[in-house]
Amino acid sequence: MFTYRLKLNAEKTQLIWIGTGQQLAKLTVNQLQLINSVVEFDSTATNLGVVLGGQLSMSQQVTAVCRSCFYQLRQLKSVKSSLTREALHSLIQAFIHCRFDYCNSPLAAWSGQSLPSETSVCAEHGCSNGVWSALK
């Protein structure tokens, strides 16, 4: 890094231990001493919009996507009175699908498994009549 005059920004650097729950419970090291800084280990790390946890489960990513979807739904409350039902429905689908599609290719690894309940709830509010109750 020094050859190219790059510096590590310890405030933006995220480190996680990856392992099973039993392996992670045995860890006692919670920071890494580098040449010019100390970096703390986190329970999650974000890379290009994908949230990874220490056990590489997708629960943190699903939670982040659902949080983003519900945020978009709440933002639409302010304009819903000036839109037709069809226009509002199109906006909702666009926002929700955009959040589901962006950086969620890791979810494809779950093929054949049941998705977590957060995903079902988010999908229900984004793609069915349940969305109208979320906009009230």
pLDDT tens-place string over residues 55-80: 887 788 888 888 888 888 888 888 88
Is 0.75 topped by the overall pTM?
no
Confidence of residue 110 (pLDDT cuts 50, 70, 90): low
Confidence of residue 135 (pLDDT cuts 50, 70, 90): low
Q: Alpha carbon of 14 to those of 7, 45, 55, 99: distances in Å? A: 15, 6, 16, 23
Comparing CA positions, the residue from 18, 3, 8, 60 lying closest to residue 39 is 8
- The 8-class DSSP code of residue 19 comes to S
Round to whole Å and give the CA distance between 29 and 56: 19
Q: Is the pLDDT of residue 115 over 60?
A: no
Helices 59-76, 85-101: axis angle to 10 degrees equals: 160
Confidence of residue 33 (pLDDT cuts 50, 70, 90): confident
